[in-house]
Structure 1
Amino acid sequence: MAKTPSTQLVVCLDNEGYAASLERRKIYVTLPDPEAEKNGLLRIIDESGEDYLYPKASFRAITLPEALRKAVLAA
């Protein structure tokens, strides 16, 4: 996946109701979706490899050292 300036990494804290799509403590990539964020949602690339909307409260943004960030985005 190519890095874009708006690519954000988040960690899943709560997957209640989404156990098949999200894993707790796993790092996910978000896609920009300002309209969804206004409604308390994040667009996440989940376990299916597709992007879906999930409650923003279930995630926390993380900052990684650049080398590790590149490795996560390349995986």
Structure 2
Amino acid sequence: MATNEKKQLPFAVCISNEDYPASLEVGKLYQIIPDETAESHGYIRVIDESGEDYGYSRDRFFPIQIPAALQDALLKAA
């Protein structure tokens, strides 16, 4: 059966930028890039302020689910 549902991309809000003030902004929403190796070590990979993806400690972020329409708007704006 075919489905029209889009895959929900994970996002997270930064809750701590200690030691990384130029790379992360507290309160900002970041796209998470799935990375099983990073996750197994307590890290998540996000696209940071440099525009590149880097691994940061998971405890710096609060993961959230966002509606598909908002996800589309955010990705188009990026």
TM over 0.5: same fold?
yes
Q: Identify unmatched segments of 5+ residues in structure 2.
A: 1-5
32-41 vs 61-70, greater mean Cα deviation: 61-70
Letter of the structure 2 residue corresponding to residue 59 of structure 1: F
The 8 Å contact of residues 28 and 45 in structure 1, kept in 2 or not, is answered as yes
SS of the equivalent of 1:64 reads coil
Greater gyration radius: 2
Q: Report the Cα distance in structure 2 between the residues aligned to 1:45 and 1:55, rounded to whole angstroms.
A: 14
Give the percent of matched residue pairs that are identical in Structure 1 and Structure 2: 47
Q: Identify unmatched segments of 5+ residues in structure 1.
A: none
SS of the equivalent of 2:24 reads coil
Q: TM-score w.r.t. structure 1 length?
A: 0.87
Kindly state the Cα deviation for residue 65 of structure 1 after the two structures are TM-superposed. Answer: 2.0
Kindly state the Cα deviation for residue 16 of structure 1 after the two structures are TM-superposed. Answer: 0.5
Query: 1:1-75 counterparts in 2 under 5 A?
Result: 5=7, 7-75=9-77
SS of the equivalent of 1:37 reads helix
Count the aligned residue pairs: 72
